[in-house]
Chains A and B, each alone.
Chain A
Amino acid sequence: MLAEALLVARKDLRVERRAKIALGQVAPLALLILMVFAFALDANSSLLERGAGGLYWLAVLYGGTLLIQRSFDVETDDGNMDALRMSGIGSTSLFLGKASALFVQITVLELILGPGIVLLYNVRVVDWVLLFAAATAGTVAFSVCGVLWGVMSAGLRVRATLLPLLLVPVLAPVLLAGSRAFETALGVRTGAGWTWAGLMFVIAAVHTAVGLGAFGFLLEEG
């Protein structure tokens, strides 16, 4: 199962490396979002500092949604979804493989955006462990939710507009928890950072469990 998941993840990452959409288009766009907020709120630097966590996760949400969309566009393109269904790869491996590839891509996006908020919003990290834990939990949640909702909308003609509409409400708790955890990690709020990070891990775990159980059915009926 793990070998098959690795096979799928490697294929997705190779497609992305060749197409250069993630690094060439999505990451610059997400950075632009951070810059636009920096310009818009520049007059109020304390507001910018306090909102840095939320703005970071907003940029991740936007970029992540594009990456998720792209991950399923390559499958619906040229009838590849049928080939996936016909392959000997189990649905659990497909789910884990696609989620792992998205995890890597979103992590790269976050590594690009991280220095962005430090430079543009003038924040400094006071708790690296919390920051790392929240980012990991948030990335897992984004990846598994993305695969789950991505496959659900993959067969639909209106998927380009429907996917964000489905994804944003589901990811709203991750966004909220991520913002709060980052605020603590960046020293702009005291207290419950780890509670929020824990909540993100729970959300990630629940969606992983649902994805492992439901992906096969959704792939068939999509």
Chain B
Amino acid sequence: MSAVVEFERVVSIAGSFPVLTGLDLRVEQGEILLVRGENGAGKTSLLRACAGLISVNSGNASVLGFDMRADRRAPRRYIGLLGHENNLYRDLRVSEHVEFRAASVGAKASDTAAALEQVGFPQQLWTVPIISLSAGQRRKVAIASLLVGRPQLWLLDEPHAALDTESRKNLDAILKDASASGATIIFVSHENPTTKDIASRVVTMDGGRIMEDSGAG
């Protein structure tokens, strides 16, 4: 298997605060990695460093074969990132938003319907403005917007937030399908043990580095 994420002694500094402090992590293709840790452990910073949204100040970092110290923007078109926020244009209608996200990653507009159906978003709401949706429905639109781009690396921060039980199961199935077709998934969650079941590996972070790794040894 090839490494999708390969971090060695990675240090990232946000402002004047070190958010990753000598982090070592190797994630292979097809893995579903659950990142756990207390608030402020560096979980979100790890996702943002993988996405190239924060710079790597020292150490070696490669994502999807791209050297993140040389050009942290290079792998982005192959990455899907879902943070705490949903990244939605609230004034747009659901289908308009997903179509825009599809077009912006070079996917076909016709993939929009498939993505919305896959996340279980009811068709009668596709023409509704996002601003009038519930929190759970918005999360589903955000996941559909991610899904439509067929990313090779999924970076998800609390993806199950605001979803009901059925939708959580559906999301888990989507993640397993994506993994089975070769995508790699790194997700942060505080929801144990529910989310632990779909993870092929669990790491625990503290103080900006990995403290425990279920796949180590």
Interface residues of A (CB under 8 A from B): 4, 7, 11, 14-15, 18-19, 74, 77-80, 82-83, 85-89, 220
Contacts and interface: CB of A to CB of B under 8 A. Distances in A.
Q: Which of B77, B92, B129 has the most CB of A within 10 A?
A: B92
B90 A78 contact: yes
A154 to B, nearest CB: 14
A11 B85 contact: no
B53 A18 contact: no
A87 B84 contact: no
A81 B84 CA distance: 13
Contacts of A80: 87-89
A18 B127 CA distance: 12
A162 to B, nearest CB: 18
20 contacts: A4-B104, A11-B89, A11-B92, A11-B100, A14-B92, A74-B89, A77-B90, A78-B88, A78-B90, A79-B86, A82-B81, A82-B85, A83-B87, A83-B145, A85-B73, A86-B53, A86-B76, A86-B81, A87-B76, A87-B104
Given A18-B129, A80-B89, A82-B87, 11 more contacts: A11-B100, A15-B91, A78-B88, A78-B89, A79-B83, A79-B84, A82-B85, A85-B53, A86-B51, A86-B81, A88-B77
B105 interface: yes
Contact of B73 (A18, A19, A78, A220): A220
Interchain residue pairs A-B with the least CB separation, the first 6:
A79-B85, A83-B87, A87-B104, A88-B77, A18-B91, A19-B91
Contacts of B101: 83, 87
Interface string B70-100: 0001001101110111111111110010001
B163 interface: no
Contacts of A74: 89, 91
A82 B44 CA distance: 13
Main secondary structure of the interface of A (DSSP, over half): helix
Contacts of B136: none
A221 B51 CA distance: 15
B210 to A, nearest CB: 24
A89 B104 CA distance: 6
A14 B96 contact: yes
Contacts of B84: 79
Q: Which of B51, B76, B86, B87 has the most CB of A within 10 A?
A: B87
B104 A78 contact: no
Contacts of A19: 91
Nearest to B83: A79
A18 B130 CA distance: 11
